[in-house]
Amino acid sequence: MPPKTPRRAVSAATVEPLAPPPLPPEEQSERGSGSEDVSLARIEIEETEEPDFVALCQKLKVPDNVRERAWLTWQKVSSVDGVSEASIQKKKELWGIYIFIAAVDLDEMPFTFTELQKNIETSVYKFFFTLKEIDTSTKVDNAMSRLWKKYNVLYALYSKLERTCELIYLTQPGSPMSSEINSVLVLKLSWITFLLAKGEVLQMEDDLVISFQLMLCVLDYYIKLSPPALLKEPYKTAVIPINGSPRTPRRGQNRSARVAKQLENDTRIIEVLCVAHECNIEEVKNVYFKNFIPFLNSLGTVAPNGLPEVESLSKQYEEIYLKNKDIDARLFLDHDKTLQAHAVDSSEMQRTPRKSNPNEEATMIPPQTPVRTVMNTIQQLMMILNSANDQPSETLISYYNNCTVNPKENILKRVKEIGCIFKERFARAVGQGCAEIGSQRYKLGVRLYYRVMESMLKSEEERLSIQNFSKLLNDNIFHKSLLACALEVVMATYSRSTSQHLDSGTDLSFPWILNVLNLKAFDFYKVIESFIKAESNLTREMIKHLERCEHRIMESLAWRSDSPLLDLIKQSKDREGSADHLESTCNVSQAFQSIHTAADISPKRRGSTARVNSTANAEAPAALPFQTQKPMKSTSLSLFYKKVYRLAYLRLNTLCVRLLSDHPELEHIIWTLFQHTLQNEYELMRDRHLDQIMMCSMYGICKVKNIDLKFKIIVTAYKDLPHAVQETFKRVLIREEEYDSIIVFYNSVFMQRLKTNILQYASTRPPALSPIPLIPRSPYKFSNSPLRIPGGNIYISPLKSYKISEGLPLSAKMTPRSRILVSIGESFGTSEKFQKINQMVCNSERVLKRSAEGSHPPKPLKKLRFDVEGTDEPDGSKQLAGESKFQQKLAEMTSTRTRMQKQKTNDSTDTSNKEEK
């Protein structure tokens, strides 16, 4: 891989303005430059160009302006980093990258990406990771990101197709037809046909799920055209009722048109393929009938053996490939080195260990490939929603009926209206033929929406001992936020990137759903944590995805000009005054003690609040005067700032560890400036990013403390953070509709606003330091986390229950390890050892029960994190502004007593049942 040295030179460009790139000849002439000057400048450039560079440009038919831009960039980088002495191969790779960058920036791409790869002899993997080390424009970033996603999807799908064909077709069939039709030919036809179908049906090139469903349709098509002697079981048995005995096809007839009706009436092979690959049969059938059958009519004339002609299919794909100027996916068939993945990638797939006993019957467990991973994720969602309905349940209906104003009609009307919008927007993003697929996914989202709503209301009923939630259930924003969260879970489940950072380049990725529902990010944020805790069966990956959505909102989306957050902050400042606007981080626990979610059923241990406060006080004695501040009136605003502070400090701490390990005392000072800006100069966050303020705060404090830390070094370290994107420091709002680099923002905006405050830290009496926010563990509890039993080294994991009626194969319910997992650490040979474990577990249950029945009553469940004007209270009415704290506490104690009595009744019932047994 080429050295990282080019990165340094171009990184400097983000903080130190460079001379603008050379203008095309026509633009120079318009500015008064004579044609003779242009010709002389071009001659000078041509004279300095190396012959190998010129030869490469000629092969690729690169225009003069692209060649000149690429060569000037090469000269600038090589003069700084000394790469001009590299080998000719290394030079060719870098020349190719600079040619690609110039061609994209100037919108002149005379070559395809594969042609470029072939000429510089490099793979997609190597090209992409070399390009990542260079600071490029957003335009180039987007172009390469699209290519990289497309390559990853194609690589995963071809690998899947190759393995699947090995399981379907015999390599050496005992049939005379094998000379005309063989597994190699069918693989080639299947892949090219699939590429054509994908290009015809999908506008999104990185949709793995629909692409794989299309691939199953292609496999079905060619299995039906194949002689039974070429097929393995169970496909051979499934195809015989269709094909019967081998027959001679009618020459000169369009085979695809003749067979279309037959294909439409028989889906047995599709069903076999869906079971084998654990796909949802209804979804695949929808793709089959709505998309694939119409596509078959466009295939060319068949060959004498009854199959489509390879040359005809290849010619059709050639036109698409040359038009898109990207990757020639036909080269996967030849295992071309330009398309081979890195050696590490192939080893990352989780393979099942071989059995130690060779006499045992081997159970084939497929590897965890990208396709299988996303299919398993979809299955897990289906398990949750199999018992759900896309209409309100009887329990929800009873809640609706108990409301002062019945919300049922509005809820059903809203769901129907949003469904039409969602279907239309999904088809616009994915492909017009995929509208029904969007409708299917929307129904899943609606099921999850009703399921979570019911769980939330049950929790609130237990907390408040009421059933009238009229104000909450008649709030339009609450319902849109809850439905958006359910739909985001479904959309992310069908995406292949849920376990990695949010992908803003994908058409359907977050915040796409907010645009569809015309919902503000701040409103969506308020329901995320309640949603996670109300749906206990969400997978760890999906919880992490929703946390990333939450971070995305806190760092930028909530700070947009049209966000209700900014108005809320202004109202709070006007009402409370700037001194009481935001509580200091040291009394965070006091201020937010009672505003957690209803679904958080695990009460805090007694004394936890005191421990939090004492720790905070010890960390920041200088901030003690702030402890008397009043909390803000808005629950959602208080909680939002609390979480923003945590996120901001975690990121700052990571950056300080990397850059200021020799000056650890600066971290606290930087945090104080950072926190002061967020609290008192919040307008600087309008249409900007949290990390931009963080980097400016770091640079400003280092500057005033005479620490030699250049902005380009900060930017370079920031780029290595897992969530970082280059646009954060390349494109910062300076003033209305004017954007520039982060260094320009620092000089012209940030420094001008905070100059007085920053200079105070150089004085002999600097400002008091803000307390460091406490960073607790994630509030989201993972249902599959093992629980340690007191008194022994034993862990219990919750057993997931699956209904037999779900009809899911065993492999979907158990992992390769859990199938054979009996014990860890030792071999249990006698029953006594099992009895000891049972006794230990039983004893621990009694200990846990005693602690629950102790003198300390459990704290009440925490209420929903969603502000509604006039929240639902125990008496079903608004809480009056003048209501005393004693009255509020009395209502809370009454609710707690009711739940405790209910719990004791259940415990005594359980005890009597055990005694009867």
SS3 annotation, 118-139: HHHCCCHHHHHHHHCCCCCCHH
Return all residues near 608 (Cβ < 8 A) that are at least 6 apart: none
pLDDT at position 399, please?
Answer: 94
Pick the closest to residue 71 from 89, 44, 90 (CA basis): 44
To the nearest whole percent, how much of the chain has pLDDT over 90?
A: 39
Instruction: State how far the Cα of 817 lies from the Cα of 757, in Å rounded to an integer.
Output: 58
What's the token pair of residue 822? 């009996």
Measured from the Cβ of residue 860, the count of other Cβ atoms closer than 10 Å reads 17
Strand partners, 796: 787
What's the pTM value of the predicted model, to 2 decimals?
0.74
Extended beta strands in 688-809, E state: 732-735, 738-740, 787-788, 795-796
Of the two residues 767 and 784, the one the predictor is more confident about is: 767
Task: Supply the DSSP string of 794-819, one letter for each residue.
Answer: -EE-PPPP--GGG---HHHHS-HHHH
Q: 357 pLDDT exceeds 90?
A: no
pLDDT band at 907 (very low <50, low <70, confident <90, very high): low
Instruction: State how far the Cα of 589 lies from the Cα of 595, in Å rounded to an integer.
Output: 10
Highest mean pLDDT among 500-509, 673-682, 851-860: 673-682
**Residue 210 vs residues 159, 168, 224: alpha-carbon distances, Å:** 16, 21, 21
Asked whether the beta carbons of 635 and 868 are under 8 A apart, the reply is no
What's the token pair of residue 779? 């509030």
Poorest-pLDDT segment among 295-299, 673-677, 870-874: 870-874
Q: 474 pLDDT exceeds 70?
A: yes
To the nearest whole percent, how much of the chain has pLDDT over 70?
A: 63
Instruction: State how far the Cα of 868 lies from the Cα of 323, in Å rounded to an integer.
Output: 53
pLDDT tens-digit readout, 630-670: 434 557 788 899 999 999 999 999 999 999 999 999 999 99
738 backbone dihedrals φ, ψ, rounded to 5°: -120, 125
Where b means 16+ CB within 10 Å and e means fewer, 148-169 reads: bbbbbbbbbbbbbbeebbeebb
* 162-167 average pLDDT score: 92
Q: In the chain, how long is the greatest CA-to-CA distance?
A: 106
State the chain's mean pLDDT as an integer.
74
Question: β-strands 795-796, 738-740: how paired?
Answer: unpaired
The region, left, alpha or beta by phi > 0 then psi within -120 to 50, assigned to residue 82 is: left
CA torsion sign, 116 to 119 to 122 to 123?
A: positive
pLDDT tens-digit readout, 187-196: 999 999 999 9
**Residue 565 corresponds to which amino acid?**
L
Pick the closest to residue 516 from 617, 632, 649, 427 (CA basis): 427
Tokens 């199999």, located at residue: 386
pLDDT at position 368, please?
Answer: 65
DSSP state, residue 587: G
Q: 695 pLDDT exceeds 80?
A: yes
**Residue 189 corresponds to which amino acid?**
L
Asked whether the beta carbons of 746 and 700 are under 8 A apart, the reply is yes
Where b means 16+ CB within 10 Å and e means fewer, 566-603 reads: bebbeebbeebeeeebbbbbbbbbbbbbebbbbbbeee
Give CA 388 to chain center in angstroms: 25
Of the two residues 802 and 113, the one the predictor is more confident about is: 113
Strand, helix or coil at 738? strand
Task: Supply the DSSP string of 89-129, one letter for each residue.
Answer: HHHHHHHHHHHHHHHHHTT---S-HHHHHHHHT--HHHHHH
**Residue 178 corresponds to which amino acid?**
S
pLDDT at position 584, please?
Answer: 39
Pick the closest to residue 481 from 511, 441, 436, 455 (CA basis): 511
**Residue 536 corresponds to which amino acid?**
S
Tokens 């936890």, located at residue: 608
Q: 853 pLDDT exceeds 70?
A: no
734 backbone dihedrals φ, ψ, rounded to 5°: -95, -55
Q: 628 pLDDT exceeds 80?
A: no
**Residue 281 vs residues 275, 379, 756, 809: alpha-carbon distances, Å:** 8, 12, 66, 13
**Residue 899 vs residues 190, 461, 611, 862: alpha-carbon distances, Å:** 62, 11, 27, 14
Angle at 582 between CA 576 and CA 587, to 5 degrees: 120
* 747-766 average pLDDT score: 91
pLDDT band at 706 (very low <50, low <70, confident <90, very high): very high
Q: 335 pLDDT exceeds 70?
A: yes
* 228-257 average pLDDT score: 63
Which long-range contacts link 801-807 to residues 24+ away (Cβ below 8 Å)?
802/383, 803/386, 803/387, 806/382, 806/383, 806/386
Question: β-strands 738-740, 787-788: how paired?
Answer: unpaired
CA torsion sign, 233 to 236 to 237 to 238?
A: positive
Instruction: State how far the Cα of 786 lies from the Cα of 854, in Å rounded to an integer.
Output: 25
Instruction: State how far the Cα of 329 lies from the Cα of 154, in Å rounded to an integer.
Output: 7
Asked whether the beta carbons of 532 and 780 are under 8 A apart, the reply is yes
What's the token pair of residue 261? 């009706």
* Total count of residues recorded for the chain: 917
DSSP state, residue 277: T
Q: 522 pLDDT exceeds 80?
A: yes
Strand, helix or coil at 179? helix
Asked whether the beta carbons of 630 and 581 are under 8 A apart, the reply is no
Q: 597 pLDDT exceeds 70?
A: no
pLDDT at position 839, please?
Answer: 64
**Residue 532 corresponds to which amino acid?**
I
Query: Quick one: 308 exposed, middle or buried, by C-beta within 10 A (0-12, 13-18, 19+)?
Result: buried
Instruction: State how far the Cα of 508 lies from the Cα of 286, in Å rounded to an integer.
Output: 20
* 141-153 average pLDDT score: 90
pLDDT tens-digit readout, 807-818: 434 444 444 444
pLDDT band at 400 (very low <50, low <70, confident <90, very high): very high
pLDDT at position 796, please?
Answer: 58
Return all residues near 288 (Cβ < 8 A) that are at least 6 apart: 217, 220, 267, 270
Tokens 């759900």, located at residue: 388
Q: 176 pLDDT exceeds 90?
A: no
